[in-house]
Amino acid sequence: MPYRMCRGLLFLVLLAFTSNLFALVAPEMGASDTSARLAKLEQQTADAKSSADNAWMLTSSALVLMMTGPGLALFYGGLVRKKNVLSVMMQSFAMMAIISVLWAICGYSLAFGSGTSFIGNLQHLFLKGVTLDAEPAYSATIPQQTFMIYQLMFAIITPALITGAFAERMKFSAMALFMVLWSFLVYDPMAHMVWGKGGLLNAALGGHFPTLDFAGGTVVHVTSGVSALVCALYLGRRLGYPHEAMPPHSVVLSFVGACMLWVGWFGFNAGSALSAGTLATSAFVATHFGSAAAAIGWAGVEWLHRGKASALGAISGAVAGLVAITPAAGFVGPMPALVIGLVAGAFCYMMVAKVKSKFGYDDSLDAFGVHGAGGTLGAILTGIFASSAINPIFKDANGNTLPSGMIQGNFHQVLNQLVGVAIAWAIAIVGTLVILKIVDVTIGLRVSTEHEIQGLDLSQHGEEGYYWEVST
Amino acid sequence: MTKIEAIIQTSKLESVKNALHDIGVEGMTVIEVRGHGRQKGHTEVYRGREYTVDLIPKIKIEMVVADDVVEKIERAIIGAAQTGKIGDGKIFRSRIDEAIRIRNDERGDNAL
């Protein structure tokens, strides 16, 4: 009884209090006041959305940086012999430093300034005009500095991916010069064409050949993967390849790195929504399923082919799936993502285990087999599976949504995707060849035979990854 | 004095150590080694590339003992390390001219 009484009393008190509140507020709500309050409310709503988007984009930026260091550094570091582990990790880390500085000076401007169809201009030299206000052409709700720093993380990981092709034999100085030139001659133009204002391939901003590339299938993976192949062919094989055994010195390190890549990729793909809304969720989900299916695809084919499903196979497959789902992430639902992943896993396994040995090139850590092949496949499959139900990117003059991919009836899109891929291949091949030639004749590309035998950790950096003295 | 060198399976180190401890052996030196006798290696496959691993990790136990316990020690090692399969390892026996304890310059059996 006392409890019920208490409850009744509480109710009465609350009622009295709230009716009192209404009595206080109601008479003050004049007409002019209402519109002022509405405007304030709208501003607050916009601020809240901006804060939410910005929180996710800053988180995503950090996630994508984590993909390079330590993610990729560990993934690649474990795959080389132990005398070269630091050199490979250092190459990834050097990108975090060098490309960042270049980006602040002029890289961002060349990629995302207005410019031409092919490359940006110098309007943002030294980050001039890159403020805390939004740049509506790219993202209306986040500060342009957030957009700039997010895009920088992509500019870092892309050249870092290439290092897998020339691991264990390229001079550090040559690598550094190569990457500086590559960033200007290949990455910035390609990023501008696909994502920049007025870019030739920009699907969102009315490019001439609208290529669907949600998170960088062509910009990141095709350019890096194809450039990697060119590097592997130009530099030649490592001493002793393929007769000498060169097994990974620690699949454990690679395993940790690959799992970090998987997690970081949520920032890469879901962050490419440039907002924290439903599109980010969709891309997140597609990314996850693509990776999972590809791990099964690679390890499954390996199991059938070799009789065992290896840990290295499973993690390589997951990475291949992440590569292939990258252009598609914001355009496809979970089921197409599973298909894309499964196909990518099996396809990249064949590229790495069969095609590479058939042609005999020494793409040491399979940068081409995973990123070049997986990226190209993913770009084409995006043209097939893209759905306007996920992302209504194409609209007619009246604002009605048009079909996105081939399955929806837009057969032309596969052609657009092929144009995007062809341009990425072309710019990567030509750009990389020119840069390799320049570096070759100026400072030379390869370490000496003695240095290669000694290992790059000692010869290039004067240190060892694992310093095991007998006594302490 | 006699030096006994026993190369055994890595997985048998604990049981050999226990067996030697049980018969009162006080000192030994254990080294991780790689090698092969009649046992064939195995193959490993990384991204479709096959590697033959023919040098297999083994454990080598070295000890220098008085001549009268040699037989007993060898029995203990065989008893603990034998599985009956190829790859169980080998024991080598050799003469030792002198043993010196660095701490106090003791010589011969006293230094063991």
pLDDT in tens, B8-41: 999 999 999 999 999 999 889 999 999 888 877 8
Calpha distance A465→A85 (Å, rounded): 6
Calpha distance B112→A249 (Å, rounded): 40
Residue pointed to by tokens 């009622």: A15
DSSP code at position B107: B
Beta-carbon contacts of A82 under 8 Å, excluding residues fewer than 6 positions away, are A249, A250, A465, A466
CB contact at 8 A, A110 and A186? no
Asked if B51's CB is within 8 angstroms of A352's CB, the reply is no
Residues paired with residue B50 on neighbouring β-strands, in sequence order: B45
> In this complex, is the C-beta atom of A357 within 8 Å of any C-beta atom belonging to chain B?
yes
Residues paired with residue B53 on neighbouring β-strands, in sequence order: B42
Asked if B51's CB is within 8 angstroms of A316's CB, the reply is no
Mean pLDDT by 10 residues, chain A (472 residues): 61 57 55 92 95 98 98 98 97 98 98 94 97 94 98 98 97 98 97 93 85 95 98 96 92 98 98 96 98 98 96 98 98 98 98 93 96 97 96 91 94 94 97 98 97 96 86 58
Chain B residues touching residue A251 (CB < 8 angstroms):
46
Determine the straight-line distance between the first and last CA of chain B, rounded to whole angstroms.
9
Residue pointed to by tokens 């009649």: B38
The predicted structure's pLDDT at residue A9 = 62
B contact test, residue of A80, A310, A319 with most B CBs within 10 A: A310
The predicted structure's pLDDT at residue A146 = 98
C-alpha closest to that of A425 among A348, A356, A371 = A371
As its CATH architecture, domain A54-461 has: Orthogonal Bundle (1.10)
Structure tokens at A195: 């994502």
The predicted structure's pLDDT at residue A472 = 57
Beta-carbon contacts of B7 under 8 Å, excluding residues fewer than 6 positions away, are B33, B35, B58, B59, B60, B89, B90, B91
The predicted structure's pLDDT at residue A27 = 53
Calpha distance A229→A372 (Å, rounded): 8
- Nearest CA to CA, how far is B46 from chain A (Å)? 7
Cα A236–A238–A244 angle (5° rounding)? Answer: 135
Q: What pLDDT, in 10s, does the model give residues B85-104?
A: 988 999 999 999 999 999 99
- Nearest CA to CA, how far is B48 from chain A (Å)? 4
Q: Where in chain B are the domains?
A: 2-111
Q: What pLDDT, in 10s, does the model give residues B1-11?
A: 999 999 999 99
User: Which conformational region is residue B76 in: left (phi greater than 0), alpha (psi within -120 to 50 degrees), or beta?
Assistant: alpha
This complex has an ipTM of: 0.80
CB contact at 8 A, A201 and A207? yes
Q: From A314, which residue of chain B is nearest by alpha-carbon distance?
A: B47
**Dihedral in degrees, nearest 10, Cα atoms B12, B17, B23, B26:** 150
Chain B residues touching residue A302 (CB < 8 angstroms):
48
Q: Strands A134-135, A139-143: parallel, antiparallel or unpaired by DSSP?
A: antiparallel
Residue pointed to by tokens 């993380």: A153
The predicted structure's pLDDT at residue A18 = 56
pTM of full prediction above 0.80:
yes
> In this complex, is the C-beta atom of A252 within 8 Å of any C-beta atom belonging to chain B?
no
Q: From B53, which residue of chain A is nearest by alpha-carbon distance?
A: A245
Instruction: Return the biggest CA–CA distance within chain A.
Output: 96
Q: A251: how many CB neighbours lie within 10 A of its CB?
A: 17
Please state the length of chain B: 112
Asked if B49's CB is within 8 angstroms of A310's CB, the reply is no
Distances (CA, A) of A446 to A168, A231, A236: 10, 11, 9
Asked if B52's CB is within 8 angstroms of A245's CB, the reply is yes
Asked if A316's CB is within 8 angstroms of B46's CB, the reply is no
Chain A residues touching residue B48 (CB < 8 angstroms):
302, 306, 349, 352-354, 356-357
The contact set of B with A (CB < 8 A) is 44-49, 51-52
Q: How many CA atoms lie within 13 A of A209 on its CB side?
A: 18
A contact test, residue of B32, B42, B44, B46 with most A CBs within 10 A: B46
Chain A residues touching residue B44 (CB < 8 angstroms):
247
Distances (CA, A) of B3 to A105, B7, B22: 70, 13, 19
> In this complex, is the C-beta atom of A348 within 8 Å of any C-beta atom belonging to chain B?
no
Q: Where in chain A are the domains?
A: 54-461
Residue B51 phi, psi dihedral angles, 5° rounding: -125, 135
Q: Spell out the CATH class of B2-111.
A: alpha beta
- Nearest CA to CA, how far is A245 from chain B (Å)? 6
